[in-house]
Amino acid sequence: MSKNITKLRRLERRQLQRQQRRASADARPSSSPQRSLAPLQWLQQPADRRELVERFDNFAPLRNALRAIGEERGYWAGIPIPLDGERLVVEPRYPNAEAFIRMGSDDPLPGKRVDADAKHRNTFWSSHMRSDIVIFESGGRVKWGLVPGANHLRHDLRTLGCSEAWGIEQESNALQTLSGLLKHRDMKQYLLTGMFLESSPRSGVTYLFRKLKPTVAIHTVKDEAKILCALCMHPIAYYAGSWAGAMCPTDDVIAHLMLMRADEAMFWKRCSQHPAWRPEAGV
């Protein structure tokens, strides 16, 4: 019992020291220049500028038309863009979620198609085969197939294709917002590497926030870091089999960061928790 009490007090002291260091860092005057506001809304831009952007980005007219409709209907996160050949997975409570899902592809993974009447029975991971084993029933017989998972290259390539859904203006606005939420050093790291670290003052868990990859939760004990899992969440929608969400990449990072700061338990609850050795973790 005395050993447990001593260990608990040691953890409390470490937690207090972390909080004091964070408070000291936040109290330092910022040397960063005054940040300018995000650009004006698209429809308020001059017509010649809009025409120039749309000339180089074939998806810009569709993206901006959907944004105008979303603003008119009061959709706070806009309207997800269905992409040809990609299955769009939408948050069920989002307006018209079922309609958006039906617009996408039903088969995001390459390989042999199964019969239309096939019934999924089970899916499990095989460490020996480095693949997901899929069990299904078709024509009165139980069959199986596998989805290779040796690496996440397929996710990377699909993400390149899904990038058509994002615009430079939206990502620029998200970067402006993120810059007001981070210290200068963290923002610099994000711009140069697409990653930054932040420790939770509540749990002591350190989070590696990454652009277009799940957030990695790291627990440090006696100077030894251990990956707990990779936390994946897209608040509105995502394209199956990729790292891409319906929102631009930095907006997804902001969503992870703000939910972790506000309600860490809810952050874990809302996220898919991938083991570090799974390709979906992106580690």
45-49, 108-112, 239-243, 248-252: range with highest mean pLDDT: 248-252
pTM (predicted TM-score): 0.70
For the residues 199-219, what does the mean pLDDT come to?
93
Distance CA 58, CA 81 (A): 13
- For residue 77, being part of any structural domain is answered with yes
- For residue 40, being part of any structural domain is answered with no
Q: Tell me, yes or no, whether 67 and 135 share the same domain.
A: no
Q: Who wins on pLDDT, 100 or 163? A: 163
- For residue 23, being part of any structural domain is answered with no
Q: Tell me, yes or no, whether 125 and 236 share the same domain.
A: no
Q: Tell me, yes or no, whether 99 and 133 share the same domain.
A: no
Q: Tell me, yes or no, whether 68 and 158 share the same domain.
A: yes
Q: Burial of 59 by CB count in 10 Å (0-12 exposed, 13-18 middle, 19+ buried)?
A: middle
Q: Tell me, yes or no, whether 272 and 172 share the same domain.
A: yes
- For residue 14, being part of any structural domain is answered with no
Residue 136: give the domain boundaries.
Answer: 119-148
Q: What would the pLDDT profile of 64-99 be if each residue is shown by its tens digit? A: 777 777 777 777 777 888 887 788 888 877 777 777
Q: Tell me, yes or no, whether 265 and 199 share the same domain.
A: yes
User: What band does 258 get if pLDDT is binned at 50, 70 and 90?
Assistant: very high
Q: Tell me, yes or no, whether 215 and 261 share the same domain.
A: yes
Taking all residues of the chain, what is their mean pLDDT, rounded to a whole number?
Answer: 78
- For residue 11, being part of any structural domain is answered with no
Question: Among residues 83, 105, 128, which one has the least CA distance to residue 245?
Answer: 83
Q: Tell me, yes or no, whether 239 and 136 share the same domain.
A: no
- For residue 32, being part of any structural domain is answered with no
pLDDT given for residue 210 in this prediction: 96
Q: Tell me, yes or no, whether 183 and 211 share the same domain.
A: yes
Domain count, the chain: 2
Q: Which two tokens stand for residue 8?
A: 């608990």
User: What band does 180 get if pLDDT is binned at 50, 70 and 90?
Assistant: very high
Q: What would the pLDDT profile of 101-153 be if each residue is shown by its tens digit? A: 666 555 544 555 656 667 777 877 776 666 777 887 877 778 777 666 656 78
